[in-house]
Amino acid sequence: MSTTTCIPLASLSPVLQFFRRMHLYIGFFAGPFIFFAALTGTLYILTPQIENLMYKDVLTAKPEGEMAPLSMQISVARAFKGDNAKIYAVRPAHNAVSTTRVMFSNDHEGPSTSHAVFVDPYTLRVKGQLPVYGTSGILPFRIWLDQLHSGMLLGSFGRIYSELAASWLWVAALGGVALWVATKKARPSKSSARGPRSLTRGAHTSLGLLLLSGMLFVSVTGLTWSQWAGDNISRLRSEMNWMTPQVNTHVIKDTASHSVDHSHGHEGHEMMPAGLQLAPHCHIEVNKPDADWGKALLAARLAGIDAENLELRQPVEEGRTWVITELGRRWPTQADVVALNPQDFSVIDRVNFDNFPLMAKLTRWGVDAHMGILFGLPNQLILIFFGSGLCIMTVLGYRMWWLRKPVAAINSPVTSLYHCWLDLSLYWKTGFLITSCLLGYMMPVMGGSLLIFAAFDVVCWRLKSMKARKRFKD
């Protein structure tokens, strides 16, 4: 958000000169990545309604009498995929007009992707099959847009771009505000500033101030998904005990039901749902065709798992539990998890969202708001406005640069970042170096790109200096 383009560089303090030049570099080099992230993110926010229309035949069912037992629906999906197919999870129909989603492991499309068979719970007809991705269960169209937004369809290598955009966005936003405040008195009055450059600067500034909180929010939440900075954030959360509590999935041998330590937000229950007893210590066959899906669902409901959207996972091996998870990501959030003993369906452990640490709750809400699902349609509209505004602001920033680029100033070595750095006091140089090292450690992509900025500027400074000396000799 550069707002000082009408103020001569020499009239600014060395600190402001340096930060203005740094802001220009961030906008010039990181701007395209910020623009692309904002554009693709805005398109992604539009996809839930589009996806529901595109896959309407697969996702919906027509109510015809009573729903068939869940185990029968799963048997139909298993017969469709073959007995050797391994069920990853099951998401029962969440309302009267939705299909049941039986998800099978798919080793060929990555660890977060499974293959879902959609079953009509009334007619037991397979409506179709589609790949689904992640805990949100997005379908092919949104998977493609998600991968475009996060990595330009280039896999892990492409994720550098989105981390670069998220790393510099908050710096550009805060730096722009700081420059606007610091140079407010030095700017010409509105009555004398009516040229294209001033109008562009005014629009750029107004949008920047309006979108400031949004830029900070999407930058921070985007970094939690990033490859390198995200790993550092996860380690920090772990050290500060800010991680999302995990349910215990191990069955204690020779114990029908087990109460766990409540100190981590888990709650154990001794009560066994009536009518669900099985033979004690029975052998648990993983991925067995007649797994007791219906009993697991009923036990979870009796244990207080009441969200419409649920995901059931059967024991992955001997000595493990059933895991039933609430998928209610809208406000109020429903994200409780319960683990059930496969021998008698008693509650081994549970994690309630109400007992999450505050930072874990904020992380959950931040991620859901970033995706546009926390508050439903209002959340989508806000993000669409923000994404569109950020794209426009980026374009205006480039237009500002284009309108103000006199050849003499560009070729002058005193306009370089290196020259501005030399003018800084030792105090500011030390502070900048320490801050840069800390941020570079936490956000390696930012650190690496900062070195590239500096190297580029030094090369340009030397070339400009050589040209200036040559002109002086001539």
Which string of DSSP letters, residue by residue, matches 90-149? EE---STTB-EEEEEE-GGG-TTEEEEEEE-TTT--EEEEEEEETTTTB-HHHHHHHHHH
DSSP string covering 372-439, please? T-SSSHHHHHHHHHHHHHHHHHHHHHHHHHHHT--HHHHH-GGGSHHHHHHTS-HHHHHHHHHHHHHH
Rounded to the nearest angstrom, the gap between the alpha carbon of residue 234 and the centroid of all alpha carbons in its chain is: 13
- Dihedral sign, Cα of residue 209, residue 211, residue 214, residue 215: negative
**pLDDT reported for residue 41:** 96
Q: What is the DSSP letter of 266?
A: B
Residue 463: both structure tokens together: 């070339």
Q: Is residue 332 a contact partner of residue 262, using CB atoms and an 8 Å limit?
A: no
Domain 56-138: which CATH number of 3.30.70, 2.120.10, 2.30.38, 3.10.450: 3.10.450
Cα distance between residue 367 and residue 224, in whole Å: 9
Question: Residue 78: in which H helix or E strand, if any?
Answer: helix 70-81
**pLDDT reported for residue 469:** 72
Report the percent of the chain where pLDDT is more than 90: 62
**pLDDT reported for residue 3:** 43
Q: Give per-residue pLDDT as tens, 163-191.
A: 999 999 999 999 999 999 988 766 655 55
Q: Is the pLDDT of residue 104 over 90?
A: yes
**pLDDT reported for residue 245:** 92
Region class of 110: left (phi > 0), else alpha (psi between -120 and 50), else beta? left
Q: Strand order in 322-326's β-sheet?
A: 126-133, 113-119, 100-105, 87-91, 310-313, 322-326, 337-340, 347-351
pTM of the model: 0.85
- What are the distances in angstroms from CA 214 to CA 169, 185, 389? 10, 27, 10
Domain ranges across the chain: 9-30+153-239+377-473, 56-138, 262-355
Rounded to the nearest angstrom, the gap between the alpha carbon of residue 378 and the centroid of all alpha carbons in its chain is: 18
Q: Give per-residue pLDDT as tens, 305-363.
A: 999 999 999 998 888 999 999 999 999 999 999 999 998 999 999 999 999 999 999 99
- What are the distances in angstroms from CA 299 to CA 255, 268, 276, 359? 18, 14, 8, 30
* Residues contacting residue 26 through CB under 8 Å, at least 6 positions apart: 168, 171, 172, 175, 453
